[in-house]
Structure 1
């Protein structure tokens, strides 16, 4: 079943991100693992999208390919209409720095830099200054005001996660990817982060794509894509917590797949 809809963008505007017959294979021969299997997918500009699925379903691999952090084995990934396969390493680095923010599961903070220096690192590399109002909005929303002078080793896991999120948001990129961005946060901090991501979509026109196992996090999105065995298994528009949980149970074989929000998108 194909979920690809080429006409989803108004007035010919390209999607914020797009996968076209995208596959990623690790290894070769009998040992080959097809992490992502010929996925066609559009992420509309100015939307909040969640990707869900069991461990090993290809969620993080898909995210890495769409963000230009990994190159697909076949097919193509696009950001804002730009085919990433046509970029050399320098061009790809520039595109990621200027247009894309990414929150990693492992934080990827520089241990010798303070929290503030880590947050501002992408801007410094691009020889840009932070926008003061937006910088303070991000810092206050993530509760980092009293931790800016601390190095990563002096921060808890949740605090390190918030620094990583701030680093991804501070440049105000048009497209932000998050790999379990709330995974190391308590309920209150996670809720504040999701509210900030929602605001960045609604008020600033940014595009947010997150991988998550949390139905409550997915319910903040406009659309949820469900992956299984490297392929798209289902889609849910205007998700609710109960709706997401119903889809997950159905995909795990514990019940029938509920009707999709658009004709032809059910099981």
Structure 2
């Protein structure tokens, strides 16, 4: 990173700073393959995700942004290093313990909505808790439903909802169990600009009004502008951070890193 980039960066607190982190990675590396086929997806990443904040992760294809999210969410094992959700070290858990932690403390939103077509919107929202044999907190569920703005559509099945409405149902499903943190991987990738903006506004409101912690992987500077901070990855390393992002500043910063294939939307 150039000195000018360092001087203009509104950096978020360093991982070692005194702060309440919902998730942390400490010297995390992820290597795929061996020999000539060896690929270093993450190279000694140390980062903390502040609790009650919206963090966007950006970088070109192959930069390691999705790998970082998958490792921090316990979906993929690290090659070296440690990952924590709160005070719990994921990398020390057995498979059953890790499955339980993902179910109880982590929410997921992906580019594909992953809704069950035969269930109503409300049934899709409560499905993970139903499978776990847990009753939803009625007051919290009502708050989530009001925040997602689909109370009049709760009895509809996915085929009767627009793409944006389906993704908001998926977001509400992630929120319904009150997880420690939600990981969202390109959540607006299958949506038009208007529907995408609705979903991003919902995610932002869930942070500001409900105290949720969200980490979102995205390639879109306009989407990153909804976040409180942006982490930039290249070649498996975090190379910069930005607080209070705007689409213009994010795009300009990414141009400075010479990241290919990035356009504002």
TM over 0.5: yes
- Name the residue aligned to 1:5: 14
Whole-Å separation in 2 of the counterparts to 1:155 and 1:204: 25
1:106 pairs with 103, 108, 112, which one?
112
Quick check: 1:174–1:205 contact (8 Å CA) kept in 2? no
- CA shift in 2, pair 1:142/1:187, >3 Å: farther
Whole-Å separation in 1 of the counterparts to 2:218 and 2:78: 22
Query: TM-score by structure 2 length?
Result: 0.83
Q: Which has the higher helix share?
A: 2
Whole-Å separation in 1 of the counterparts to 2:93 and 2:130: 23
Counterpart check, 1:53 vs 2:59: yes
Kindly indicate whether structure 1 or structure 2 has the higher relative contact order, using CA contacts under 8 Å at least 6 residues apart: 2
1:186 pairs with 168, 172, 192, which one?
192
Q: Please list, as runs of the form range in 1=range in 2, the aligned pairs for 1:1-267 lying within 5 A after superposition.
A: 5-10=14-19, 13=20, 15-145=21-151, 147-152=153-158, 157-252=163-258
Whole-Å separation in 2 of the counterparts to 1:101 and 1:77: 16
- Name the residue aligned to 2:263: none
Residue 35 of structure 1 and its aligned partner are, at CA, apart by: 1.6
Give deviations 1:45-70, integer Å, cap 9, x for gaps.
12111000111211111101101111
Deviates more, 1:86-95 or 1:156-165: 156-165
Q: What is the root-mean-square deviation in Å for CA atoms of aligned residues?
A: 2.5
Equivalent pairs, count: 250
